[in-house]
């Protein structure tokens, strides 16, 4: 579904040159939920913006179903890291969610239906008439998710969407994302710097190194599809996987020679 090949991004300007991403290659299959984890500042947002066609890469390609991404592709939705700034304060929640649908050739009644359905699925059926600033942080983030869902994307890119909400809301939102993914069969790329979150959510975890960024490792999360906050997080296999990812990130920070490994089997046990 998504192919990232030799992606490099260098920011230049004001006499400053930042190599945000050096050389990234990985693939996301159709219907997969892949988590991308890496230290702060390693270029996760940069990568997602390149994948969403919001930034042009310096070198390399992003392919969506074999076609090169050169601008925001139809069928792709984005949930930004700074959700507070991604909602329009002068528009009511319902209008915010409806906005991207106006690009689609849909009847007014169909748009209304999609908005109501999306708000219902994030548990905000009653909030359509409120303004974003009247809602809590977690609720605002659910509005941003509803907006992405109403668009009926085939691919959803999420950039640390839960970084600024409290732990309890975060757990609920994680389960919401997994539930929606299982119901709707969307392809999801979920960026986080939280190792536990990556292992809990993903079917696969792509570990990025610290800057200059390359793929440090990819590992399959061989936990059962049915996951829940109580049991999954205390399962011995969960602990093994999180320890493994943690060690990989530590190795990347120490600058241990990084070998790009594409693993589809399970990591060694410790």
Ligand X SMILES: Nc1ncnc2c1ncn2[C@@H]1O[C@H](COP(=O)(O)OP(=O)(O)OP(=O)(O)O)[C@@H](O)[C@H]1O
Which residues ranging from 33 to 62 are in contact with Mg ion (CB under 5 A)? 44-45
Query: If 0-12 CB within 10 Å is exposed, 13-18 middle and 19+ buried, where does residue 18 land?
Result: middle
* Least Cβ distance, residue 184 to ligand X (angstroms): 26
121-160 mask for ligand X (x: CB under 6 A)? ---------------------------------------x
Per CB under 6 A, does 44 bind ligand X?
A: yes
User: Which option in ligand X, Mg ion, none does residue 18 bind, with CB closer than 5 to 8 A by kind?
Assistant: ligand X
- Per CB under 6 A, the segment of 37-45, 72-80, 171-179, 231-239 that binds ligand X is 37-45
Nearer to Mg ion by Cβ, of 45 and 121: the residue is 45
Per CB under 6 A, does 41 bind ligand X?
A: yes
Nearer to ligand X by Cβ, of 96 and 192: the residue is 192
* Least Cβ distance, residue 194 to Mg ion (angstroms): 13
What are the C-alpha distances in Å from 152 to residues 8, 75, 78, 119, 263? Answer: 30, 7, 12, 13, 31
# residues near ligand X by CB under 6 A: 13
User: Which option in Mg ion, ligand X, none does residue 248 bind, with CB closer than 5 to 8 A by kind?
Assistant: none
Choose which of 45, 141, 187, 248 interacts with ligand X (CB under 6 A). Answer: 45
Choose which of 2, 4, 7, 20 interacts with ligand X (CB under 6 A). Answer: 20
Per CB under 6 A, does 264 bind ligand X?
A: no
Per CB under 6 A, does 11 bind ligand X?
A: yes
Residues 3, 25 contacting (CB under 8 angstroms): no
Residues 24, 214 contacting (CB under 8 angstroms): yes
Choose which of 1, 5, 10, 18 interacts with ligand X (CB under 6 A). Answer: 18
Choose which of 40, 103, 105, 109 interacts with ligand X (CB under 6 A). Answer: 40
Per CB under 6 A, does 46 bind ligand X?
A: yes
Nearer to ligand X by Cβ, of 208 and 219: the residue is 208
Which residues ranging from 176 to 195 are in contact with ligand X (CB under 6 A)? 193
DSSP letters spanning the chain: -EEEEEEEEEEEETTEEEEEEEEEEEEE-TT-EEEEE--TTSSHHHHHHHHTTSS--SEEEEEETTEEP-S--TTEEEE-S-HHHHS-TTS-HHHHHHGGGGGS---HHHHHHHHHHHHHHTT-GGGTTS-GGGS-HHHHHHHHHHHHHHT--SEEEEESTTTTS-HHHHHHHHHHHHHHHHHH--EEEEEES-HHHHHHH-SEEEEEPSSSEEEEEEEE--S-SS--TTTGGGSHHHHHHHHHHHHHHHHHHHT-----EE--SPPPP-
Q: Which residues here bind Mg ion, judged by CB under 5 A? A: 44-45
Q: Which residues here bind ligand X, judged by CB under 6 A? A: 11, 18, 20, 40-46, 81, 160, 193
């Amino acid at each position: 579904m998504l192919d990232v090949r030799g992606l490099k991004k260098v920011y230049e300007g004001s006499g400053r040159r930042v190599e945000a991403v050096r050389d990234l290659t990985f693939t996301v299959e159709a219907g997969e939920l892949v988590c991308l984890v890496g230290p702060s500042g390693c270029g996760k947002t940069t990568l997602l913006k390149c994948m969403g066609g919001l930034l042009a890469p310096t070198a390399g390609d992003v392919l969506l179903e074999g076609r090169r991404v050169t601008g925001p592709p139809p069928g792709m939705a984005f949930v930004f890291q700074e959700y507070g700034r991604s909602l329009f304060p002068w528009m009511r929640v319902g209008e915010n969610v409806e906005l991207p649908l106006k690009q689609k050739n849909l009847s007014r009644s169909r748009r209304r239906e999609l908005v109501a359905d999306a708000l219902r699925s994030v548990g905000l059926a009653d909030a359509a008439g409120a303004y974003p600033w009247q809602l809590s942080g977690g609720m605002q983030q659910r509005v941003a998710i509803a907006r992405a869902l109403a668009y009926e994307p085939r691919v959803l890119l999420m950039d640390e969407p839960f970084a600024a909400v409290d732990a309890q809301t975060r757990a609920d939102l994680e389960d919401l994302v997994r539930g929606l993914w299982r119901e709707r069969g969307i392809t999801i790329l979920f960026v986080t710097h939280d190792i536990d979150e990556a292992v809990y959510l993903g079917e696969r975890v792509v570990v990025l190194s610290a800057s200059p960024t390359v793929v440090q490792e990819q590992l399959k999360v061989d936990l059962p599809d049915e996951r829940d906050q109580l049991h999954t997080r205390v399962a011995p296999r969960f602990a093994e996987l999180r320890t493994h990812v943690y060690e990989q990130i530590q190795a990347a920070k120490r600058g241990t020679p990084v070998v790009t490994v594409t693993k589809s089997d399970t990591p060694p046990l410790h």
